[in-house]
Structure 1
Amino acid sequence: MKVYKSKIDWWLMAIVYGVLIYPMVDGILTKEYILSAGMMGVVLLITLLFYSVQYKIEGAQLKIWWTTIDIKTIRKVYATRNPLSSPALSLDRLAIVYNKYDEVLVSPKNREDFIQELLKVNPDIEVKA
């Protein structure tokens, strides 16, 4: 089993934490401690989600959170900067096209190694990275 962590853009983290920390600080300054505690919980949850994004290759399966993709069904992998919501914490992404119409965006730290592992299982994948 190979595990690939998601690449994380520093500016993305700055925006997310900036938006979340402002109400927390404001709640402390205005003595709205329930607001601050709630926002602190949200910040902790987001932090856990940020560091839990990973992609696992187990045999002929690619696991992305709760989704399992049969690597034999992957038709194409290409580089993209598509900002759509996905299990990718960077805009330096790979689009994985599988089955007939399915696509998922990922952002592994080590893109080349990730692609090579996919190709070991399915050498017919068209790569445009």
Structure 2
Amino acid sequence: MTHTRPVFFSRVDAWILAIGPVTGLAAVGMALPPALRSGATAEVAVLGIVLASTLILPIWLLLDTHYTFTADTLRVHCGPFCWRIALAEVTEVSPSRSWVSSPALSLDRLRIRYGRGRSILLSPREKQRFVEQLRPQCPHVLVTGF
């Protein structure tokens, strides 16, 4: 029998939603005029690659940033990136508003400390429910700021 685990999707700040289209438009605005003037196939190909990467990656991150608990790990997915954090190594959970790059699409974040001085920032939409799911699996965890 398969036991489904709850998936916690990332909260998404409005300003993050704007970054993708703005970046894509800026890339087109800078690359299109020279590519059209030269007419070179190589430049048009480079433009296509730039456009694809500036549009596909942000969409992938927006659609596929989530956090899932398994029996012994916290799985963090952010587009093509994945982390597996052993629940036995989780030592502390606290609120954060850090701007540090992380698999979180909001500044309303949780800092998960684990291992030897490591941490990761997450932004589950349902922070309280996320912490409630974590506590029984990590009874030793220090939860602060709630």
Classify the TM-score, shorter chain: 0.7 to 0.9
Aligned-CA RMSD value: 1.9
1:41 maps to 2:41: no
Report 1:75-90 matches (<5 A): 75-90=91-106
1:115 maps to 2:131: yes
TM-score by length of 2: 0.77
CA contact (8 A) 1:25 1:36 kept: no
Q: Residues of 2 paired with 1:22 and 1:36: CA distance?
A: 12
How far did 1:25 drift?
4.7
Structure 1 unpaired stretches of 5+: none
Give per-residue Cα distances to partners, 1:75-119, cap 9 Å, x unaligned.
110000011111111111100011231111101111111100000
Count of residues in correspondence between the two structures: 128
Give per-residue Cα distances to partners, 1:43-73, cap 9 Å, x unaligned.
0222112211111101121011332111122
TM-score by length of 1: 0.86
**Identity within the alignment, %:** 25
Match among 57, 60, 64 for residue 69 of structure 2 = 57
- What secondary structure sits across from 2:26 in the alignment? helix
How far did 1:23 drift?
2.5
Counterpart residue type for residue 10 of structure 1: A
Q: Residues of 1 paired with 2:120 and 2:57: CA distance?
A: 23
Counterpart residue type for residue 51 of structure 1: L
- What secondary structure sits across from 1:32 in the alignment? helix
Structure 2 unpaired stretches of 5+: 37-43
